[in-house]
Amino acid sequence: MKRPLDGTRLVMGTDYYPEQWDPSLWDEDLRRMRETGIEVIRIAEFAWNIFSPREGVFTFDFFDDFLAHCQKAGMQVIFGTPTATPPAWLTQRYPEVLNARIDGALYRHGARRHYNYNSVIYQRFVRELVGKLAAHYGPHPSVIGWQIDNEINCEVSEFYSDSDTLAFRSFLKDRYGTIENLNKAWGTVFWNQTYSSWGEVEAPRLTPSGNHNPHEMLDYRRFVSDSACRWAKMQSEIIRPYLKPGNFITTNGIFPDVDYHRMVQESLDFLTYDSYPNMANALGYRPPKGSLGDRESSICLDEVRSIHGIFGIMEQQSGANGGTGSAASPSPRPGQITLWTMQSIAHGADFVSYFRWRTATMGAEIYWHGILDYAGRENRRIGEIRNIHGLLQKIGAVAGKPYEAKVGLVTTYDNQWDAEVDTWHGKIAQQSVSAICRAAQHTHTPMDFVYLREDTKAADLAKYAVLFYPAAVIAKKWQAEVLRQYVAQGGSLVFGCRAGLKGTNGQCTQKELPGVFRDLAGCEVREFTFVAEDEGTIHADWEGTRIETVLFNEELAPLGEAKVLARYQESYYCGVPALIENPVGEGRVYYFGSAFSEEAARVFLEKLSAADPYDSLLTAPACCEIAARADRRERYLFLLNYDKSAQEVIVHTPLRDLYTGRKIEESLTLPGYGTAVFLQEIPSAASKTE
């Protein structure tokens, strides 16, 4: 059998915990999995004690036995390193391996993710364990890949132990060289925070007001990411020599304060994601205004795809989610498991593994339901997943084909982390990014996340007709140059307010805003303000179209050849420029001196001719998502109905319905939570000229 993500087919899997079940169930479970269409299982990510019940003692009998059953059943296995749950014998004898809160209190044994990955003692034990597992199980014919740890930085992404202080100092010494450089970067002259030696520098500690030096906290998040990447790299380097040809290393994300681009580049063959759309339906949860509900997962999937293209789903929701001490959610309604599976595949997943095969009968996740209930009987969910397997056979040729998007949302890790530290930045970024994503979804405009990295070239951006950069607060000269080259070759770039405000360390520039983007944007910011609550919604007039200017407004002035496109219509800055257009080479830069609302983002998409790129093929209501994966010859159009009511889709060009094999020429009715996949043959360049 071929491995997942080989670019030739779609593969289904599930998560299985043989240590939680009587061995008499194994053969029957494996047989039923195979009959359901499941080819791959993930195991062992929480099983440290099974391998090492005491310090210095290792045993492989249990999983040797289970893998023999897998081999007999023809089941492929992803082996998890069980390093997210250290055993009690380890944390009791070596409490320095435990993570700590900011007040110094240790997280104790009794849940998971209580370890500290900067502890040299914990690293020593992990190296030994992972080395023995890789050496023993790497050669096994059923093992096709490895998952490092489990959900790195899930539940807690802050680390304040003594080990973290030592590691933080080392990180800062490498970054700044001298304590004088650190003081300058952190602006420690403010509030008399100056350090005279490295021994005075600690991981952030409890303060009276809860306020911390923002430049320190930005570096701290860089440090957390660096620690997570080094953690994954340590394990990857141990495992890789034992990989058989075609085997892989992955981990499951995505979680806060991790540079996943670096992690994949250094340590992984591809990334997987844990997709739980039903969290949006948790009882008592009050979603923010304009929330997309379970459709919000499409945005998360877009972000995963931005990291490494085609990806996998290690945990796809198959039942109600919740725990004894966490959220409670309803069971997926008929069709929703199919909807969420196709949502993942539409956005670039070629491997979908359902969490979990059997619902746990013990522990904190007895209500985090799997495919089967506690008794293991046949149910609606397993029937739906069997049907999904049949659908995947019909659309399998989509495997390996990239997601199609001509609009991108630009971001950087520095800006994401600064938005966690800086309330002003965070409010504006959350408002604008969410609004642009919602507008793209509701106008059927596929969109990519585009991370600006030091190796990013203008050629990498050329495929996008429009790039939004709504939270460009931390900015660097090289980024401005790459974006200038992108625009000069014909692209359209849209800035939001606050662009160019800060430098690398998060200190505000003393240059006229938008700082390093001033020449590119063709404007200056003369004044700025949050919109007072008693003012209501402020608008600007864009050549006859009213657009909302929400949350934060800047008063702009054009420079050089730039021209004013829109002016504010209310408040004391009525008549002042709100939107500037600047020609650069073959393209245009638009500087919008506000945060984005969904309505404003929609106007930009429409005026820049980027909205609804498939409108010549079909028309669908806003509650349906349209996504496409395509190569030069074929386009696979996914239609996803997130509404419980049936929806009519109008087809303007004959398309092949891959579920039924029929040609659809006029219309199609999607049932509530229904999906469809259409095939469009793309004429070759030669045939177009004939």
Predicted local confidence at residue 1, as pLDDT: 52
Residues 599 and 625 in one domain: no
Domain boundary among 398, 420, 436: 398
* β 76-80/563-568 pair status: unpaired
In the chain the first and final C-alpha atoms are separated, in Å, by 43
Say what the pLDDT of residue 657 is: 97
Residue where a domain stops, chosen among 548, 574, 607: 607
d(CA 321, CA 524): 50
Q: Are residues 437 and 578 in the same domain?
A: yes
Same domain flag for 368 and 484: no
Say if 49 falls within a structural domain.
Answer: yes
Total number of domains in the chain: 3
Across the chain, mean pLDDT equals 96
pLDDT > 90? residue 289: no
Reply yes or no on whether the pLDDT at 688 is more than 60: no
396 or 683, which is more confident? 396
Asked whether residue 255 falls in the same domain as residue 323, the answer is yes
One domain for residues 233 and 140: yes
Asked if 266 is an active-site residue, the reply is: no
| pLDDT value, residue 285 | 82
Catalytic residue among 39, 45, 315, 384: 315
What pLDDT does 504 receive?
Answer: 97
Beta strands in 280-361 (DSSP E): 311-317, 349-355
The answer to whether residues 383 and 318 belong to one domain is yes
Q: In this predicted structure, what is the pLDDT of residue 23?
A: 98
689, pLDDT greater than 50? no
Do the domain assignments include residue 511? yes
User: Over 50: is that where the pLDDT of 194 sits?
Assistant: yes
Cα 460 from Cα 354, distance rounded (Å): 34
Tens digits of residue pLDDT in 345-355: 999 999 999 99
Residue 576 to residues 526, 566, 591, 596, Cα–Cα distance (Å): 10, 9, 14, 18
Strand order in the sheet with 667-670: 618-619, 647-651, 667-670
Q: Are residues 491 and 556 in the same domain?
A: yes
* Residues 143-191 pLDDT 10s: 999 999 999 999 999 999 999 999 999 999 999 999 999 999 999 999 9
Q: Mean pLDDT across the stretch 80-89?
A: 97
Whether 683 shows a pLDDT value over 90: the answer reads no
Residue 463's domain comprises 407-607
Share of the chain above pLDDT 90, in %: 95
Residue 192 lies in a domain: no
Mean pLDDT for 544-564 is 98
Q: Using a pLDDT cut of 70, give the percent of the chain over it.
A: 99
Say how far apart CA 407 and CA 445 lie, in whole Å. 8
Q: What is the pLDDT of residue 372?
A: 98
476: CATH: 3.40.50.880
Cβ-contact 129, 64 below 8 angstroms? no
Residue 477 lies in a domain: yes
pLDDT on residue 323 = 87
315 a catalytic residue: yes
Q: How far, in Å, CA of 649 to CA of 669, rounded?
A: 6
pLDDT in tens, 89-111: 999 999 999 999 999 999 999 99
What is the reported pLDDT for 373?
97
State the pLDDT at residue 485.
98
Distance CA 20, CA 4 (A): 26
pLDDT at 687 over 70: no
pLDDT at 297 over 90: yes
Please say whether the beta carbons of 635 and 404 come within 8 A.
Answer: yes
Amino acid at 415: N
pLDDT for the residue 685 = 56
Instruction: Identify the burial level of 641 via C-beta atoms within 10 angstroms of its C-beta, where 0-12 means exposed, 13-18 middle and 19 or more buried.
Output: buried
pLDDT tens-digit series, residues 196-211: 999 999 999 999 988 9
Q: Single out the catalytic residue among 39, 45, 151, 598.
A: 151
Please state whether the peptide bond connecting residue 514 to the residue before it is cis, i.e. omega within 30 degrees of 0. yes
116 and 256 part of one domain:
yes
Last residue of a domain, one of 359, 378, 398: 398
592-639 tens-digit pLDDT: 999 999 999 999 999 999 999 999 999 999 999 999 999 999 999 999
pTM of the model: 0.97
Task: Indicate if 562 and 655 belong to the same structural domain.
Answer: no
Q: Please report whether residue 3 resides in a domain.
A: no
For residue 61, give the 3-state DSSP assignment. Answer: helix
Do residues 524 and 624 both lie within one domain? no
Question: Residue 682: its pLDDT value, please?
Answer: 87
Structure confidence by residue, pLDDT tens digits, 460-503 = 999 999 999 999 999 999 999 999 999 999 999 999 999 999 99
Which one has a higher pLDDT value, 184 or 283? Answer: 184
